[in-house]
Amino acid sequence: MKKNILIVVALLSSLTLGAQVRWGIKAGFSSGNMRLKDQTQMTLFHDRMLPAYHAGVLADIPLSKSFVVQPALLYSVKGTKTINTFMTGMGGNEEATTSYRYNYLELPVNFLYKGEAGRGKVFAGLGPYVAYGVGGKVTYKGYNAGTKKSRQIKFDGEDNTNLEELHANALDVGVNLLAGYEFKNGLLFSINYASGFLDVSASDRTLEKHRYFGLSVGYLFPGK
């Protein structure tokens, strides 16, 4: 994994040679969800979105007058949230919430078209992303008379049936769709949708893939 990331970084670095590269920062809100399949291959969808965030740095590398490649290095939170209703001992109903938060270092590489529009440029494009899990936790709230507890997510790829532990695969790879607007002063706004290709579950009894919708604000510093 580390070797592959170094190769990607080396290729991106070679693109910056002789190019008018602009560096920038970005951060924003993301709404995560996960697609599940159980061992019978039945598709299930979590019915709640997980509020999360992402933040990091980016580069804007021109390929031609209208096309750029825009890699970024982000700290990105993904996951999902479930709300279950169950019967209490007194015959009533109680809700229990489970939040799954996976923390990643993510490297998206987007290929964008930029066109003049008003006081800036509109842009749109797509590209792959690769992410590596660096931490996370599962939080339970509402079980056992409203108690709240959590457990850490271990990115070790082990298929462990211990209910006190949650294990996951560290690598996540997918595709990212991006669109937005860039003002002439470097301020930019964007929306994106990302969908993972790889199963992040360490269990052979379930299949779990990330997907999320994001809103970002960023700034590109003036070029030399």
CATH number for 33-220: choose from 3.40.50, 3.30.1120, 2.40.160, 1.25.40.
2.40.160
In which residue are the tokens 């936790």 written? 137
- The rounded distance, in Å, linking the Cα atoms of 185 and 190 is 15
CB-CB neighbours of 144 under 10 Å:
10
Helices (H), 56-214: 143-146
**Domain boundaries, given as residue ranges, for the chain:** 33-220
How confident is the model over 21-58, as pLDDT tens digits? 999 999 999 999 887 666 555 544 446 789 999 999 99
Entry pTM? 0.83
Tokens 């990302």 correspond to 194
Q: Going residue by residue through the chain (224 aa), what tens digit of pLDDT does each one get?
A: 555 555 555 555 555 555 689 999 999 999 998 876 665 555 444 467 899 999 999 999 999 999 999 999 999 999 988 777 666 666 666 677 888 899 999 999 999 999 999 999 999 999 999 999 999 998 888 766 556 788 889 898 887 666 667 889 999 999 999 999 999 999 999 999 999 999 998 887 778 899 999 999 999 998 76
